[in-house]
């Protein structure tokens, strides 16, 4: 080969058809040449551009996967947020008491607690794709049943069923995205799920505001059928993940999916990496029971469960589910209070984006502690506002403080807790420990939704928000004492550091 040959191959129109000998460097640099056959993957190459992992076909495939799977997160957000606008009309229609409002609202959440457990098992047994298909079907049935509910008992059961889909989606959507996305964009796609949840809540607030003029609460609830059908239909055309295929001995199917997102030359190495990771996790699960009995792991498990509780007992879902009810207690009408809730949704989306940007720069502990401080102050002042006379100015002040509170919450605590739960547990017990924490999170969510309307009518909004402010103070003390810093620490190094520091006051675990 002469020194000029590679240049000729790059610029000559005949270069792509030229058959190079194995020792030519151009061959290694052009693995996607459709006329250059050197392995079993060649028949697939003409369907992909020469820069497959970054080319149009691969990009379109990844975007399609993200768009369809993220509908699970959007449905999660819509079905949890839409009740805020529908509840005033449902309460009037069914004659609900404060406890009845809590039961109707929280029925979905107790369903989600069990759905999160069942969703993980379904994803392992049926596959990520088929499990999401079933979740889409349950979303459709649940949304229709809720919208058509003739009695309170029917409504409660229907919302429980809908909650099974919500809880399942909360587990299956990030799992599917994390396993099918290329490593270079995996973090962004998994974070997209969190963004879609708050975006779904914002969409619910907008739909509530539009339909409130006609008191069309059944339409508010029933419109969730549309994205549910889109999720179901979209998943029919998507494959399962390479990891699940490989776990079932279907390496050919796994390779076919990987070829749609990776250069063909990287597929064997990626398959090997998946298999090695599966073997490590299988070995890890065999020692999980013994590891859970060690004191330092038990302390970490309790810390994780405590973090899950902190995310809920500080009041976030009281605002998400009952913002119009809170605003009505200041003298606003139903339509105005529902429309004003849109501000909460807009700020939640913006704050989530800010939190995703800052979490790796600032660190987990500083964001948690700073967020809890801001939340506590805003809740204390919010409670004081309910001692003021009813007026437009009071209503505006209450809304502004709710927005400030949600900004602190979504940018710091909501982002930080989910990330810490994914990072802080040892590999051997990570799935079990995170499952326990998420289950507790849903149970606390259920308790807040059930009791908040009762507290609101029993002791008043001011005292109720002061209780949440006190929870922020206790949560601050808990996080300062027990929550580790995981920023910039590899997971393997983190496990070693936590083994030695879990029993001591928390702080930076590694340099």
More confident: 255 or 49: 255
Instruction: Rank 237-246, 249-258, 371-380 by mean pLDDT and report only the highest.
Output: 371-380
pLDDT classification of 52: cutoffs 50, 70, 90: very low
Q: In this model, does residue 505 exceed pLDDT 80? A: no
In the prediction, which pLDDT does 183 show?
67
435-492 pLDDT, tens digit per residue, is 888 889 999 999 999 999 999 989 999 999 999 999 999 999 999 998 887 776 555 5
DSSP 77-146: HHHHHTHHHHHHHHHHHHT--HHHHHHHHHHHHHHHHHHHHHHHHHHHHH-HHHHHHHHHHHHHHHHHHH
- Which phi-psi region, left, alpha or beta, contains residue 151 (left: φ > 0; alpha: ψ -120 to 50)? beta
Residue 134 has pLDDT above 70, yes or no: yes
Instruction: Give the CA-trace dihedral at 63, 345, 79, 146, to 10 degrees.
Output: -140
Q: Angle at which helices 98-126 and 83-94 pack, to 10 degrees?
A: 130
> Poorest-confidence range of 260-274, 378-392, 461-475?
260-274
Q: What is the C-alpha to C-alpha distance for residues 76 and 82, in angstroms, rounded to an integer?
A: 10
Q: What is the pTM of this model?
A: 0.79
Cα separation, 398 vs 467, whole angstroms: 17
């Amino acid at each position: 080969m002469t020194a000029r040959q590679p240049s000729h191959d790059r610029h000559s129109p005949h270069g792509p058809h030229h058959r190079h000998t194995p020792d030519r460097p151009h061959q290694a640099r052009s693995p996607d040449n459709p006329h250059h056959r050197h392995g079993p993957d060649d028949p697939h190459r003409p369907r992909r551009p020469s820069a497959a992992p970054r080319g149009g076909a691969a990009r379109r495939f990844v975007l399609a996967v993200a768009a369809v799977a993220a509908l699970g997160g959007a449905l999660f957000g819509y079905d949890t947020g839409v009740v805020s606008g529908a509840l005033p009309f449902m309460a009037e229609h069914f004659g609900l008491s404060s406890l009845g409002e809590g039961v109707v609202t929280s029925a979905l959440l107790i369903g989600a607690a069990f759905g999160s457990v069942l969703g993980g098992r379904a994803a392992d047994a049926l596959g990520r794709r088929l499990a999401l298909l079933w979740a889409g079907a349950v979303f459709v049935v649940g949304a229709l049943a809720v919208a058509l509910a003739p009695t309170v008992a029917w409504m409660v059961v229907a919302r429980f069923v809908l909650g099974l889909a919500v809880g399942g989606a909360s587990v299956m959507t990030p799992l599917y995205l994390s396993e099918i996305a290329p490593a270079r964009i995996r973090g962004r796609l998994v974070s997209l799920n969190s963004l879609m949840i708050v975006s779904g809540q914002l969409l619910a607030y907008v739909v509530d505001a539009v339909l409130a003029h006609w008191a069309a609460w059944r339409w508010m609830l029933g419109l969730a059928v549309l994205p549910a059908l889109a999720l179901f239909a979209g998943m029919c055309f998507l494959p399962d993940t390479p990891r699940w295929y490989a776990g079932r001995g279907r390496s050919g199917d796994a390779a076919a999916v990987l070829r749609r997102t990776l250069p063909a030359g990287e597929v064997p190495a990626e398959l090997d990496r998946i298999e090695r990771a599966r073997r490590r996790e299988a070995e890890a699960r065999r020692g999980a029971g013994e590891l859970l009995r060690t004191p330092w792991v038990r302390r970490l498990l309790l810390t994780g469960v405590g973090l899950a509780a902190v995310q809920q007992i500080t009041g976030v879902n009281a605002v998400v589910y009952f913002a119009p009810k809170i605003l009505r207690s200041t003298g606003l009408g139903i339509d105005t209070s529902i429309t004003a809730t849109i501000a909460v949704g807009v700020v939640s989306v913006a704050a989530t984006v800010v939190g995703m940007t800052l979490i790796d720069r600032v660190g987990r502990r500083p964001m948690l502690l700073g967020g809890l401080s801001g939340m506590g102050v805003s809740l204390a002042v919010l409670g004081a506002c309910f001692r003021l006379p009813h007026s437009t100015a009071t209503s505006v002040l209450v809304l502004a403080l709710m927005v400030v509170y949600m900004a602190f919450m979504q940018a710091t605590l909501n982002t930080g807790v989910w990330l810490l739960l994914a990072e802080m547990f040892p590999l051997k017990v990570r799935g079990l420990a995170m499952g326990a924490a998420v289950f507790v999170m849903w149970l606390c969510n259920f308790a807040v939704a059930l009791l908040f309307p009762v507290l609101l009518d029993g002791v008043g909004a001011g005292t109720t928000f002061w209780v949440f402010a006190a929870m922020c103070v206790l949560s601050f003390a808990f996080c300062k004492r027990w929550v580790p810093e995981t920023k910039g620490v590899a997971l393997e190094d983190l496990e070693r550091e936590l083994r030695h520091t879990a029993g001591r006051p928390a702080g930076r675990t590694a340099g």
